Structure 1
């Protein structure tokens, strides 16, 4: 898993962030929030990119020790949007949220920082730091990146397996697909299939349609049956909202806040919010 990209046009990506995005890195210490605003649940992470100094998320024997985020900038980019309430985890699978809590000593210059991820239909705490100062974005950057990339990769794997076990297997001779252990679409049509992310729910609700296009930073993708995205000429090449946006941007991102429905320029994140209010 790549954590940083030396050729990433970070400034160009920042220009594509929604206007309500909160920039935590790069930022001055005075601009870093130490408490979650009133009537706000947490900060949904849109983009994270670590610095070269941060190194790899996994260190082997003999590797240099991890840098101390208290003195070394590990986040080249960290941005998010405030959420007023916990959104339904089932349609927000893959999202990562940061919550700020009052520390035990009630020090206004410090915060307990909690990182949660939407997985398996619930919000789970995946990491927590106690009494951190305004350097907290650099404390959490690597953990946020790892969980966002892991969940994006898992969703992509689900989408690719569904394509392999469905349309691709159906196009193969029976003797070949069965030899590979693939059922093919007719054989599995009645079996429940895990959707890679919430895009399938938007399809089922009629908020998007199979075959329509979504746009991000000059790129176009087509929504496919089952809640996948097609990008490129191959009908069998599939991706997902977060995985494709991450691939195209060269930065770990939440694509729901970047992809827009072509016909009206609405963010997929807004459509997902509309779905939750129905």
Structure 2
């Protein structure tokens, strides 16, 4: 890594370890490419020992603003990925928000050779289950709106934690008419229909799997990816009760 990458890694590790945030302005020019941001991602995870017990992380976030945008990916620290767990009060968040999503689970191992051949049309056959999920988005950056995209990506794509609901068998869904209902605290329920940015959550699977296998690793059966928000980012505060429901698929509830 470059000296700037090493310094940024150290700063992010210190911020996470000390439960504090960083001013992004001194780091604006620290990263020049996506590859450099991913190298910092990996270095932060290694320094904090997130994946010492598993060579390939068991849960990821992946997505993008549209099919024409560059999709980005981040492995999720296992301590914050919780199945049917409603309480996240033990974790530290600074300026949290929530995203209502669909998570997908691999039903088989995927090798680098298999990942290289995937298309959006064939990749869905690798999925055995789906679940409603809520990502708690949170950053190590003080002013997220003013933080460059590469710095967000280096910071695990500003991930805080992930709540996953019950798994149900994966099946073809009319995503264009799929309804999403998200509620935060006493705010009105946010209702959206057919608003996944990629039109189909499974569309990102080939790009995501090629990223995960880029160092020659096989992605194991059971690996989970959450696939992008249907409601953007909804602001929330500590103690807020949050719910997300996708009629016909499931729901999840949690306390931030």
Looking at both structures, which has the greater relative contact order when contacts are Cα pairs under 8 Å and sequence separation is at least 6?
A: 2
Q: Same fold (TM over 0.5)?
A: no
With normalisation by structure 2, the TM-score equals 0.28
The structure number with the bigger radius of gyration is: 1
